[in-house]
A and B are shown apart, each in its own frame.
Chain A
Amino acid sequence: EAGVAQSPRYKIIEKRQSVAFWCNPISGHATLYWYQQILGQGPKLLIQFQNNGVVDDSQLPKDRFSAERLKGVDSTLKIQPAKLEDSAVYLCASSPTGQPLPEQYFGPGTRLTVT
């Protein structure tokens, strides 16, 4: 079974530029998550999708971050314009539906450096 795929693995941009990350979840997983992991901290949930719909985006800085999940499969996360404090690893995870709490499978992440 293929895991969660993410690209690119690394990205360096200047502040005020835009950047996009791509995630392909495990086939059949209805739920997709984007996390931000700042150096020295644990992952923080940015947005959660259930199929095409957004379940939770309460911690997404919506003035600069956007995310979409087309056709309930792949997802992209965009930052525009980037700030220095956006430097982090962006992790995508997916999980099947089910109770009580399905396991989340994580991709390798995209390391973003904003200069």
Chain B
Amino acid sequence: AQSVTQPDIHITVSEGASLELRCNYSYGATPYLFWYVQSPGQGLQLLLKYFSGDTLVQGIKGFEAEFKRSQSSFNLRKPSVHWSDAAEYFCAVGAHGDYKLSFGAGTTVTVRA
């Protein structure tokens, strides 16, 4: 069965600074990887996904993520954060032919002025 670990529970970053959120997955075959964002009182919104091909994936809102098979990682990055990026971020892994997603516990991002 697949699983996801997000090592950082909470990250505080200054507005305009760069952001990197870590995600490590466990899965025997090639995983399908996702990053979702959840703002307070909202549902989850897909930021980006990786299925195959180019290991650097571009998403919405200026986010990107890099798949590194050797490290079983799929870290999310943004070069310059905005106050509106304050939210909770979830990494998820899925498998081909199985629509079920396994989510990490999430990382809460606080943006200070």
Instruction: Report which A residues bind B (CB closer than 8 A).
Output: 3-4, 31, 33, 40-45, 48, 55-56, 91, 93, 95, 99-104, 106-109
User: By the criterion CB–CB under 8 Å, are B43 and A107 in contact?
Assistant: yes
Looking at the assembled complex, report how far the CB atom of B76 sits from the nearest CB atom of chain A, in whole angstroms.
Answer: 15
Q: Which DSSP category, helix, strand, loop or mixed, fits chain A's interface?
A: loop
Count A/B pairs, Cβ under 8 Å: 58
B26 at the interface (CB under 8 A from A): no
**Contact call B32/A100, Cβ cutoff below 8 A:** yes
- B99 and A102 within 8 A (CB): yes
Q: Do A101 and B105 touch across chains, with their CB atoms under 8 A apart?
A: no
Bound-state CA distance A4–B44 (Å) is: 11
Binding site for A on B (CB under 8 A): 4, 32, 36, 41-46, 49, 51, 90, 92, 94-97, 99-101, 103-106
* CB <8 Å contact, A43 and B96: no
B97–A43 touching, CB < 8 Å: no
Q: Shortest beta-carbon distance, B34 to chain A, in Å?
A: 8
10 inter-chain pairs at a CB distance below 8 angstroms, sorted by A residue, are A41-B106, A42-B90, A42-B105, A43-B103, A99-B96, A100-B96, A100-B97, A103-B46, A106-B43, A106-B45
Are the C-beta atoms of A99 and B100 separated by less than 8 Å? no
Residues of A within 8 A of B44 (CB): 43, 91, 93, 106
Are A31 and B51 closer than 8 Å at their CB atoms?
no
Q: With a CB–CB cut-off of 8 A, which chain B residues contact A93?
A: 43-44
Residue of A44, A101, A109 near B103 (CB, 8 A) is: A44
| Contact of B99 with A108 in the complex, beta carbons under 8 Å | no
